[in-house]
Amino acid sequence: MASIGDVVQWISENESLLSGMVALVVLVGLILSPIGKGIRRFYTRRDQIEPSDAASDSTPVTRHTPTAESILAVLAFDNLSSDPEMQFFSDGVSEEIIQRLSRGASLKVIGRTSSFHFRGERKAQAAQALGCSHVLDGSIRRASGRVRIAAHLVETSSQTTLWSDRYDRSLEDIFSVQDEISENIARALDRTFSGLSTSSIEPAVYDLYLRASPQSYAPDELRKYVGALETVTRRAPDFAPGWSRLAFLRSFLNVYQPYSERATTGALVSREADRALALDPQNIDAMTAQLFVIPPFGRFVEADTLLERIRRAPGSGDGRRYVGWYLRTMGRLRESLEDTERTYRLDALDPMSKNTVALARMASGKIAEAIPVYEDLVARVPDMSFPVSSLLRAYAFQEDWASVDRLLALARERGMGEFQDTMPFVQAKRHPAPENINEWKGGLQAHIKATGRIDVSRLVYSAHLGLIEEAYAAAETARLGPAGTNDDIMGPDAYRTSLLFQTGMPEMRNDPRFPRLCARLGLVEYWMTTGKWPDCADDVPYDFKAGCEKVQDIPIEDFGF
């Protein structure tokens, strides 16, 4: 078996091979996009092909009328070359098609993690498992100076092949074909894909970009891929996806950096995101990177502007799943759940999609629906710390103490990172005897005395355990953000306001002092400026909006980092 280095060398020597994927994008785009109605042609699959330097003729079949619910799964193309390492290159072709087609506003495309899960004999299960209306599959073979790419598009309900074609070219002809196809894309799809060309990137560099796709989002994994993407952007400075993925992953890594270093790292993320957006103004991952470097509280109006830009942008991106995640920090739980479920359906096997949808379900009180998703994550992605903490809380609210014991042992083994508070909270909720509640209370007071600050999540936990007066006293005397010391909480949820709106813990919200706390966090300014009130505005036992009006002049606390 050839080494990865051999594959990279081979790709470097045959860089034009990448261009063949563009032609596939055009033909599928013309089939499924309403913009291309006047120029669509549908084809039957030809299994017997003859070498040629030009595309084969194709035989038309029955016209298919796409619906608004068209959902496409692009499967990983089969590698028909003798080198098994070339499967990674074939995956890269399929991924490029996904990225390009997802920019079409009329077409939903299943995410790569989910669609690539089905290979070999399992491809027959893809349509039913993914719930898609169409499947695009194909194969790639390279021999001597030629490359052959075959593809076919199937409507899943009728198992009808809507289109089938192959590209049989000499390597020298690939770039001229790309120029012709790119012009067709620009005309037929109103330049939807025009900012995504990979023609200017070396194949070896593109290979490095494809590999920089995290699974666990653990800090060490993120550092590795950030380093790889720095090489990509240095060698391909006009490749927008390289800049956007670099900015996105660095922004995620930033939440694990010491707070004293975040201003410098955040500025770097902003420059990388700006570079990506200059090349591709609709790039979702770059906009999400900008969202991630906004402090967890205090600037919600600014964050909402970015959220709306991400929601309006066509296509997909790893960052899109964080729209619903961020909406919860503003108290918009119903909207968060709808958005997250929609994103989850398009990539249901992706670990972070699973994590965000489980969080949204639990926040909305649908704990039983969140548990199996968390269980799958705990088993499948052992390096991901988020699900263990969330699953512990879920079982505690269900009073499933046998499952809690199992997870507590696992939590001690894996470590809880920024979720250390979960374990004592679960224990106090399980045994709410006075001595245990007093132990939690003592820990709260000792923490404030030692650090002078508090995370709102700890306030919510305290109020839920019956310590409502202690929680509000702590909120009034302590700083709400980090202190910049080694014991500060880190991670994507640190110092965020999501837990304030958790359906199963309403104690803080039900107290008339809640708007005052929200004013210090910048939430009242956001609600009154935008008119996008939280779900709890209609649920609490007092006039929530009037309470917000009374405290709107309270200064917003500076997050500080």
**Residue 30, pLDDT score:** 38
pTM of the model: 0.74
Confidence of residue 509 (pLDDT cuts 50, 70, 90): very high
**Residue 45, pLDDT score:** 30
- The rounded Cα 160 to chain-centroid distance in angstroms is 33
**Residue 161, pLDDT score:** 78
Domain range summary for the chain, segments of one domain joined by +: 4-193, 219-315, 323-551
Residue whose token pair is 């700890």: 458
Report pLDDT digits (tens) over 282-316: 899 999 999 999 999 999 999 999 999 999 887 76
Over the chain, what is the mean pLDDT?
Answer: 80
Number of other CB atoms surrounding residue 148 within 10 Å: 18
- Confidence check: pLDDT of 81 > 60: yes
Report pLDDT digits (tens) over 161-200: 776 777 776 645 433 433 433 333 334 333 333 344 545 5
Report pLDDT digits (tens) over 39-73: 233 232 323 223 333 333 332 333 333 344 678 88
| Topology (CATH) of 323-551 | 1.25.40
Tokens of 59: 């035989």
Report pLDDT digits (tens) over 441-498: 999 999 999 999 999 999 999 999 999 999 999 999 999 999 888 888 888 999 999 9
**Residue 172, pLDDT score:** 55
Q: Give the CATH architecture of domain 219-315.
A: Alpha Horseshoe (1.25)
Confidence of residue 82 (pLDDT cuts 50, 70, 90): confident
**Distance in angstroms (rounded) separating the CA atoms of residues 247 and 153:** 34
Q: Alpha helices, DSSP H only, in 202-239?
A: 203-211, 219-235
Residues in the chain: 561
**Distance in angstroms (rounded) separating the CA atoms of residues 73 and 136:** 6
Give the burial class of 546: count Cβ atoms within 10 A of its Cβ; 0-12 exposed, 13-18 middle, 19 or more buried: exposed
Q: Give the contacts of 315 (CB within 8 A, at least 6 positions apart).
A: 99, 102, 103, 104, 282, 284
% the chain with pLDDT above 70: 75
More confident residue, 281 or 145: 281
According to DSSP, residue 437 is labeled H
Q: What residues form DSSP beta bridges with 141?
A: 148
Q: Give the contacts of 116 (CB within 8 A, at least 6 positions apart).
A: 75, 76, 91, 94
Give the CATH number of domain 4-193.
3.40.50.10610
According to DSSP, residue 453 is labeled B
Tokens of 555: 């200064």
- The rounded Cα 297 to chain-centroid distance in angstroms is 21
- The rounded Cα 522 to chain-centroid distance in angstroms is 26
**Residue 419, pLDDT score:** 65
**Residue 362, pLDDT score:** 96
According to DSSP, residue 156 is labeled T
**Residue 106, pLDDT score:** 56
Domain 219-315 identical in fold to domain 323-551: yes
More confident residue, 67 or 88: 88
User: Shortest CA distance to 284 belongs to which of 248, 252, 253, 251?
Assistant: 248
